Structure 1
């Protein structure tokens, strides 16, 4: 007979816990929705920057993500020697110093020669 009394109590406790978990999940979702989400291109740039810094130089595709351009733009500019590269031809190896130059506002670098 004691089992019959405890089962409804357990069911009530379980329902109460379920309601508390739902309320907590709603509060958590509300808090996380306020945090700004990074767009995909920013995430790609972050990953490419980390990979380049770990290696010591950028690949053309990574450098394109870092400066916000298409990979073809980067390879064309490497071929024209506008973007500096390390010794050797293809695949282009772009030094880390180029990141600062290409991500600097052009108005701020006037008069600064490379």
Structure 2
């Protein structure tokens, strides 16, 4: 049985939350500031309940905080988990850049 570190589980939740285009659009909307759920739902061709489910996934991924004030729910972007995902991706960017540099060197040697 493979045991997973809690960091991996956090990344799973982050990347899972980012996996759907609607959720990425919601993050873009929230990047300009907090917004009510009804306002976030307006530009999307889906029900308020469907948008709420997407927001719940974002909240579980740690990307959105939802604050309730009576019947109004206001959402705030928490971009901190995005830096964790960026850090993970950066390691592999460096890996591939190194591999492409090696390939370039090899091709130059083969040309000569």
Alignment TM-score, normalising by the size of structure 1: 0.28
Higher strand share: 2
The structure whose RCO (Cα within 8 Å, separation 6+) is larger is 2
Q: Point out the structure with max Rg over C-alpha.
A: 1
Alignment TM-score, normalising by the size of structure 2: 0.28
